Amino acid sequence: MILAAGRGERMRPLTDATPKPLLEVRGMPLIERHVRALAGAGIRTITVNLAWLGADIRRHLGDGSRFGVEIRYSDEAPRALETAGGIVRALPTLVPGPFAVVNADVFSDYPFDRLGIAAETDAHLVLVPNPPQHPHGDFGIDGTHAIADAPRRFTFAGIAVYRAALFAGFTDGVRALRPVLVEAMTAKRCTAEIYRGIWEDVGTPERLRALNSGDRLQ
């Protein structure tokens, strides 16, 4: 699943007329990069959630056939349901078993073919070293387990694998992801890894310009 429903407030005015996932980094829309990378990793069915200017994303990606995948859509308009709420609504469109989730607005060379999840867990998170704009991070790691409170924390990359059981019992509606993950961490059912390759949260016009000028990443 690719999370693409957000308004992109910090990206305004660029996102007033263009959905954030269709902003281009080095000649290609962010979301198209993810679709191609997921297809290259052998994933054949992708769900994209939509809200703000979702018709533009649907128009660009189509049914996915030109990328060698099947793309399904989960509509949230008129209001995005936040991350966990969006996943809950999209669950009927996802194939059985664990599923990968990636934020549309990150730029990374993470190799999706190495994503996995242990049998006794409901979530596996990819963490990265903290970028300048997020110095305190999100979660720690103890061996292979993610922990909510730690002296040293890393930033959640917006790349993960979940089981539907993580969202069991939730009704349709707006719901944040962090409390869901913290509960899984408390139960020792959330693992994590640290990725030190290319990763950038394309969250502001300044970061987008830096990426396109080559100032931040090579």
- On the 0-12 / 13-18 / 19+ scale of CB atoms within 10 A, 37 is middle
Residues 132-169: tens digit of each pLDDT: 989 999 999 999 999 998 889 999 999 999 999 999 99
pLDDT at residue 215 greater than cutoff 70? no
Q: How many domains does the chain have?
A: 1
Answer yes or no: is 63 within a domain: yes
- Is residue 93 one of the residues assigned to a domain? yes
The answer to whether the beta carbons of residues 159 and 111 sit under 8 Å apart is: no
Find the CATH number of the domain harbouring 139: 3.90.550.10
Identify the pLDDT of residue 204.
Answer: 87
What pLDDT digit, counting tens, does each position of 37-88 carry? 999 999 999 999 999 899 999 999 999 999 999 999 999 978 899 999 999 9
Residue 9's pLDDT is what?
Answer: 81
Q: For residue 130, tell me if it sits in a domain.
A: yes
Q: Which two tokens stand for residue 114?
A: 């190495």
Q: Which domain holds residue 143?
A: 2-213
- Is 31 within a domain? yes
How would residue 210 be classed by pLDDT, with cut points 50, 70 and 90? confident
Per-residue pLDDT band for 112 (boundaries 50, 70, 90) equals: very high
Q: What is the pLDDT of residue 11?
A: 80
Beta-sheet pairing, 28-29 with 123-128: unpaired
Residue 113 lies inside a defined structural domain of this protein:
yes
Kindly report the pTM of this predicted structure: 0.92
pLDDT at 217: 43
**Residues near 1 by beta carbon (within 8 Å), at least 6 away in sequence:** 46, 47, 48, 49, 87, 90, 94, 99, 100, 101, 102
d(CA 97, CA 173): 23
Q: Tell me which residue of 79, 10, 43 sits closest to 159, measured CA to CA.
A: 43
User: Domain for residue 146, yes or no?
Assistant: yes
> What is the DSSP annotation of the chain?
-EE-----GGGTTGGGTS-GGG-EETTEEHHHHHHHHHHHTT--EEEEEE-TTHHHHHHHHTTSGGGTSEEEEEE-TTS--HHHHHHHHHGGGSPSS-EEEEETTEEE---GGG----TT-SEEEEEEPPPTT-TT-SBEEETTEEESS-SS-BEEEEEEEE-GGGGTTPPSS---SHHHHHHHHHTT-EEEEE--SSEEE--SHHHHHHHHHTSS--
Query: What confidence tier does 183 reach under pLDDT thresholds 50, 70, 90?
Result: very high
131 has pLDDT over 70:
yes
CB 153 within 8 A of CB 147: no
The reported pLDDT for the residue numbered 218 is 36
Residue 218, domain member (yes or no): no
In a domain, 74, yes or no: yes
